[in-house]
Structure 1
Amino acid sequence: MKVLIADDEDLARKRVFSILNKLDGLDQIIESSSGKETIDLIREQTPEIVFLDIQMTDMTGFDVIKKLKNDLFTIPLIIFVTAFDNFAVKAFEIQAVDFLLKPYKKERLIDSFNRAKLKLKSEELNGYRNKINHLLNFLDNNQVDQGRSNRYLDKIVIKIGKKYIFINVNDIKYITSSAYYAEIFTRNKEKYIYRISMSELIGRLNPDNFTRINRSTIICLKEIKAVFSEGLGDYSITINSGESFVLTKNYKSDFLRKMNIK
């Protein structure tokens, strides 16, 4: 069996690879880092199962399956992976298509993989293809809601147990990182753990509302109470709830420009 991991985040691909590589029955694991490369590899390498990230740099995972629409009856089993796309979650749940919501546990990934293997060996494959066809039709009828039309997030979807939590981005005070996890702090003093890189997350937040001030901190601009010059070009930032943060060199110019500090 051949599996393709399609994700533009190198760390995300490595995590899936490390989990799958320990399982039996896999002849080859291949990787792609863009939508175009994913389409080419599906057509050339014909993997049986694909872990497909929804948000890639050149196109969405939805765009990928649309490009493969004419090859519907040779399309592999796809397990969609999404970090925070509430439209994607809605689409998958309506069409009963399997997906992984980041951050997912190792056991959840293995369970999805095992279910996909069972479908390959049963008559469920035709049913799966019908679901993909229905998903494509659903996407065609909901063009306004999906893709790049809403580049920045309004909500972040986090799965806790069997429950999905929708965090309003406008409620976020600041975000800090711990290894590959983001810790999201809200105005009502709630904290959520989210498996995502800071560079990926800041790319989906509106730059008019959020800014990165150091390698491990993103803050909401409206939450800033004061900016202190510490001398020698160093600055610190205090937000309304009292927390203080350091503004580091790599992010200083952009931050000072946004705050109109000269």
Structure 2
Amino acid sequence: MAGLCLTYTSKGDKYAFILDGNQIDQEDFSGASIYLDACFVLAFLDLDDNRRPEVARALDVWSDYTGVILGVSNHTVAEVINRLFQIKVLGALEVYHQNNKLINQTSNGFKKLSPDQKNRLLDLDGAKFLYRLAKREDIIRLYNKNINVSVNVMELIKLAKKDEANRHILEIFYRDAINTFELFIQNMTDELWFETVEILDSTADISYPAAKVFMQQFQLDITDSFHLAIAHENNYNYLATLDGDFVNTFYSRSSTLTTKIIKVA
């Protein structure tokens, strides 16, 4: 496992294998392979994330070069779709809570919602079912002057699945989370003209041993360690992330990792 260690060249507090968002303008990405972790993808999909402009800029820079391949792993896919599912459930609950009286006590109240509110509500029956269940089980919490809601989404979903008569209502939330991710993949090739987006598998006999090494040596959590292991295993030139845990002083001096880390924002 010696080849999994990293070396660094000190440049003040910078390391030769770590690029920040400003340094990507000086890098030649022609024919490069760039692995995207989950936080990178989620920041791009969240229009309210203050890091999104930097993520979008990075994608624009890379798309100007020919032959650039983007990669995500099965771990990235799972993290992103799971988080999207939770965001969509929370968004629907929040819109329903904020417009409860309008929807239920006003004639044609649903039609008076804005297009953005309808989009976040996703499905009126589904939002109503989940909201009432969360209230009944006393697992919904209000904050910011009772405007916003907080709930353990996965606990709520487990309770909802026990209702055999209504659990089919959940299908739209699962479907929309998947569609959002797949649309992101499609847009990378159709709109930004990347050559392809690969979905990479992790292999138990390579990825797991490598991830263990990264976790122990570099004090990364196991999720980050798997992302780095898969990028390295597939000979990717870069790993793009927003996670500051990748930028630390615990890297070994004993050998070199060929995958550079781009800390975008």
Highest Rg: 1 or 2?
2
Structure 1 and Structure 2 fold alike (TM over 0.5) = no
More strand by share: 1
How does the TM-score come out when normalised to structure 2? 0.25
How does the TM-score come out when normalised to structure 1? 0.25
- Of structures 1 and 2, the one scoring higher in RCO (CA 8 A, sep 6+) is 2
More helix by share: 2
